[in-house]
Structure 1
């Protein structure tokens, strides 16, 4: 028989199925149990790909993010001279940072950037929300403050969906 033989017993076919290949010197019997370890490793690697996908970026801001991943944001952003931590009470795993007053004053559009970093144990971890507000982006109404939001999510699909919903609510809130 060419192909796997399913066992008549109630065991899983991966554990005990046999493959018979025709050959000139007789039948070769190779059990799938020999290859089960490699198959399991392959399945583990492929299942890991569902969690190790590229970060999901969303929002309406076309300006590139400062860092490529959440870990770089957590490590590098607080070290910048033009960024300060906001002294507000936040839940565990949530950090608020924003551009310094001096940085905003020197920008021609008075752009203020706020970053919300989510790390474990927060439910939205690992992710980043960047919100930029400025006065000069809207050329038709030069004194109206406008806001642009970008998200970076490295969590599960459910986490990224929840983060996108939060960002959408934030974008809809009046300035």
Structure 2
């Protein structure tokens, strides 16, 4: 994977949505935190160990919730990530985000595409038919999906040891399968 971590890419995505880090008044995020069962502050609840194991066909050794932003500062955007260590030597970083307001998906994707190209030195590929919009970063093995209603998700797959040779095509196929489990 490239040097830019998932959290950095998610912060970039939220900035493209009009959010991101920064000062300002606290915003009521109760609608974002648990809208329609989507609790963006708990990526491990949205993508469970059982779902990952069944979808990817391997046991999950560990799952850890990380990088939680609860929306209490800045503009009210919320996000989190869940890092899964898989028995086959792969690691999955699954992230969730909910943007405050109702961002224009096409505008966000255009902005995100340009910003990701600069930050990662990689041109994102649009994947029609995945969510409302989807961007794939082949070298990072990272998929970013707009699900609608200001909800976003990301899956990044990396391999270690015997799994180090995971291809971009295989990572993309597995990432899309994971996204389908949450309605993309």
TM-score (ref. length: structure 1): 0.37
Q: Which structure's relative contact order is higher, taking Cα pairs within 8 Å and 6+ residues apart?
A: 2
Name which one, 1 or 2, has greater alpha-carbon Rg. Answer: 1
